[in-house]
Amino acid sequence: MCRLLSDSGIPLILVDHDRVEPHNLVRQNFYEGDVGKFKSQALAERLSRRFGRPIGFSVYPYMHDLIGESLGGGLVRPASQGIIIGCVDNVEARRAIGEALRFGSWWLDAGNGLSSGQVLLGNTKNIELLGSPFQEMYGEVDRLPMPTWQLPSLLAPPAAREMDTRSCAEAVAADEQGPVINQAMAMLVLEFIYRFLNHQLTWMGAYIDLRAGTLQTVPAEPETVARMCGVKVDTLILKGCSVGNRYRL
């Protein structure tokens, strides 16, 4: 992410209240000297030195109004205004992000299992707010169902998993997560962000399965969203209709 944003003024803020533990050293970007430190602080300080740019961090659980940038005169721009990248592994964290999602912000959520996972991007909570987001004249879409609307099971995992409090690193140690699935997911997230920032993204989701060797993308098209929301295609289009994969975010 630091490399993608190296030539931009886009601020980057890391949010994680977990601390570095010994089992994190095997598969995450930490060193022995980081053990005991907050993950967000350790990474922010190292990446700031490496790339010569300020990087914010928070050692508290995610809250949309926790961090902000002062604009002067008592005005504050919340840190949640922009792109929120969720790399969390529990229902509570996803629910907190969804409930705090503000108008104009985008939420990209990534999650995975043993050898498969998904990346979903959206910004709207319900059909009333969705309106008619597809603009045929410009070939653009500015509102899409948020990740937990696209895949409701993100907020209702199987009962057998609800009592599983192990981290991703512990799951790998128990052979319940492949050793490279997280790296594959990270690359897919970065591809989404790169295309999004360059106005080249035409997907609203992607599903990857390393065992099967497949990658299936979900196009951000009126037909796709209409089926997902249970509405007519025409209600989603502003002055026109769509044919083919033309819309970009």
* Same domain assignment for residues 107 and 226: yes
Closest CA to 109 of 229, 16, 193: 193
Cα separation, 87 vs 186, whole angstroms:
9
* Same domain assignment for residues 55 and 134: no
Closest CA to 185 of 120, 119, 114, 122: 119
Tokens 């990346």 correspond to: 119
DSSP-assigned letter for residue 188: H
The answer to whether residue 80 is domain-embedded is no
* Same domain assignment for residues 109 and 16: no
pLDDT number for residue 71: 75
Q: What range defines the domain where residue 99 resides?
A: 86-238
pLDDT number for residue 168: 65
The answer to whether residue 40 is domain-embedded is yes
* Same domain assignment for residues 118 and 226: yes
The answer to whether residue 166 is domain-embedded is yes
Q: How many domains does the chain have?
A: 2
* Same domain assignment for residues 40 and 94: no
Out of 60, 76, 104, a domain closes at 60
* Same domain assignment for residues 110 and 12: no
The answer to whether residue 204 is domain-embedded is yes
pTM of the model: 0.85
The answer to whether residue 100 is domain-embedded is yes
* Same domain assignment for residues 109 and 206: yes
pLDDT number for residue 68: 66
Cα separation, 184 vs 116, whole angstroms:
9
The answer to whether residue 245 is domain-embedded is no
The answer to whether residue 244 is domain-embedded is no
- pLDDT digit of tens for each residue in the chain (249 aa)? 999 888 888 889 999 999 999 998 987 889 999 999 999 999 999 999 999 999 999 998 887 676 666 777 777 776 657 899 999 988 999 999 998 888 889 999 999 999 999 999 999 999 999 999 999 888 899 999 999 999 999 998 656 544 556 666 666 555 578 889 999 999 999 999 999 999 999 999 999 999 999 999 999 999 999 999 999 999 999 865 444 555 776
Amino acid identity of residue 38, one-letter, is F
The answer to whether residue 90 is domain-embedded is yes
* Same domain assignment for residues 24 and 116: no
Out of 10, 42, 60, a domain closes at 60
* Same domain assignment for residues 153 and 229: yes
Cβ partners under 8 Å of residue 249, min gap 6? 121, 140, 141, 142, 144, 196, 199, 201, 202, 204, 220
